[in-house]
Structure 1
Amino acid sequence: MEKVEVKDLLEAGVHFGHLTRKWDPNMAPYIYMERNGIHIINLYKTSAKINEACAALSKIAASGKKILFVATKKQAKDIVAEKAGGVNQPYITERWPGGMLTNFVTIRKAVKKMASIDRMKQDGTFNSLSKKERLQVDRQRAKLEKNLGSISDMTRLPGALFVVDIKREHIAIKEAQKLNIPIFAMVDTNSDPRQVDYVIPSNDDASKSIHKILSIVASSIADGLNERKAERADKEGKSAKVETKTKKVEAVAATKEAVTTQEEE
């Protein structure tokens, strides 16, 4: 995992909160001071909270569960797509599809529809359609890709949700709460941290701040995935050794049997 330096967080502007009049009093424990009508976040607390969140995310990744990233605000979209995609995790950067978690079966059907259109194009069925039908199918495929393309590999509910701006993504938060899916989030001074299991007090508006936090988070997920890979390789190595040993024992037994048979003859 990337080492969290308070100096780096400061340079990325992670400490800038919202206007004091827009604050949520529940964020008081994470606020260091007020300057020019703006709340300043205590970066030592941010640093401790990042470490806590990253340790948990690394464990989830190592267990083989997916972490769904949610960020539909303009300045976070591309960063989330890059960082989550880089560690092979699903993400939503367009509009949140209502029922994405609580009605997961329907969402999976839509993803399967996308796959069936792809199959039609491969096996030639698509070419047998009329020009108008082909156009409709293409439009449908493009729409599905835009909204759900990044979650096409998510075959079951995620092990956790990572959200940038919990106020904006309140529907996603509600759905995760209903299903007891742990929520990790960048929480600014205008939001209620009680809605989140793992709070990272930080500026969720500036792209530099979002980039910094997500780089650290993605790095810890990569660590978890590498741990999982190493464990699997270790298991495979052990089972291969057992298999080799068994074969040797069988070969020795077969040789003995052959020798015994010859002697008897």
Structure 2
Amino acid sequence: MINLEDMLNSSVHLGHPVKQWNPKMAAYIYGERNGIHLIDIVQTMICLAKTNEFLLKSAKENKTFLFVGTKKQFNSVINSCAESSGSFYITQRWLGGTLTNWLTIKGCINKLKLLEKADDENKLTKKETLILKKRKNRLERFLAGIKNMNKLPDVVILVGQIKDLNAVKECLKLKIPLISILDTNCDPNLTDLIIPANDDSVSSISLILNDLCNSISENSNIKQNFQRVILR
């Protein structure tokens, strides 16, 4: 279990400069120090407990989860958490219509799988191999984390609301439950479940995401499904 000391040590409480704040986050701000807003980590604890309860219930119902965060410093953290919990992830550029135009994205995923198959068969000329490899690498870069996602996710977990606002809009449009880690410059009205926290610190995001992943992984079915994917 995460405690208040863990949060302080991981800089969860450090928000943005006061001038950059979103007034809608006022309920989650404790105060300010040296021109920096301080997040009320008691509120963070309460919101995290509520979110974990939702994730536990969703995991027991065999719901699918998609982690989204395209800030470079969080790539490895998000990848690791998603894979350890049998979830999906997007850590490169968000492709417009990833959710709202899922059939097109699904077609791109099928194309990627065909390119991988052609590469495995290795019956192509050197020139053809180079061309296909270039196409495959591009698709792999953006679709690797959702390659085995056969349908829209049941829940989306987002890091970096402002940077990935298009992902937020698509979730809202499709009414996909959205969990967001929000800093003091974000809008809490654009999410279903909020976790107020520093969204620029690797230690802060790692602490929270690992806790969320543990809740997802509590369901043995999720672990078993993930193991089947690995075996394939």
Q: Which moved more, 1:109-118 or 1:93-102?
A: 109-118
Q: Which runs of at least 4 in structure 1 moved beyond 3 Å after TM superposition?
A: 227-230
Task: Find the counterpart in structure 2 of residue 8 from structure 1.
Answer: 6
CA deviation after TM superposition for structure 1 residue 134, in Å: 1.5
Pairs within 5 Å for 1:106-121? 106-121=104-119
- 1:114-263 correspondence to structure 2 within 5 Å: 114-122=112-120, 124=121, 126-127=122-123, 129-223=124-218, 225-226=219-220
Highest Rg: 1 or 2? 1
Deviations 1:115-165 (A, max 9, x none): 11222234x3x41x3322211111111111111011111000001111111
Task: Among all aligned residue pairs of Structure 1 and Structure 2, give the percentage whose two residues are the same amino acid.
Answer: 38
Q: CA deviation at 1:226?
A: 1.8
Match of 1:94 among 86, 92, 95: 92
Q: Which residue of 2 aligns with 1:242?
A: none
- Partner SS state of residue 153, structure 1: coil
TM-score (norm 2): 0.93
- TM-score, structure 1 normalization: 0.81
The whole-number CA distance in structure 2 between the counterparts of 1:61 and 1:157 is 16
Give the direction of change, closer, same or farther, for the CA distance of 1:228–1:71 in structure 2 (3 Å limit): closer
Does 2:66 align with 1:68? yes
| 1:13 partner SS | coil
Alignment size in residue pairs: 224
The DSSP-based 3-state class of the residue aligned with 2:142 is: helix
Quote the Cα distance in structure 1 between the aligned partners of 2:97 and 2:221.
Answer: 33
CA spacing shift, 1:80–1:228, aligned 2, 3 Å: closer
- Asked if the contact 2:14/2:36 (under 8 Å) is kept, the reply is yes
Q: CA RMSD in A?
A: 1.4
Using a 3 Å threshold, how does the CA distance of structure 1 residues 21 and 87 change in structure 2: closer, same or farther? same
Matched, 1:79 2:74: no
Equivalent position SS for 2:132: helix
Q: Is the 8 A contact 2:183 2:196 kept in 1?
A: yes
8 Å CA contact retained: 1:33, 1:41: yes
Alignment partner, residue 228 of structure 2: none
- Residue by residue over 1:229-264, the C-alpha shift from the partner in whole angstroms, topping out at 9 and shown as x without a partner, is 79xxxxxxxxxxxxxxxxxxxxxxxxxxxxxxxxxx
Query: Amino acid of the residue matched to residue 186 of structure 2?
Result: S
8 A Cα contact 1:63 1:228, kept in partner = no
Cα distance in 2 between the residues matched to 1:121 and 1:194: 46
SS in 1 for 2:161: coil
Distance 1:150 1:229 in 2: 17
Q: What CA distance in whole angstroms lies between the structure 2 residues aligned with 1:98 and 1:154?
A: 17
Residue aligning to 2:103:
105
Instruction: Give the 3-state SS of the residue equivalent to 1:54 in structure 2.
Output: helix
Shift of 1:58: 1.9
Amino acid in the other structure paired with 2:43 = K
Q: Which amino acid aligns with 2:76?
A: D
Aligned-residue offset at 1:227 = 6.2
Shift of residue 10, structure 1, vs aligned partner? 1.1
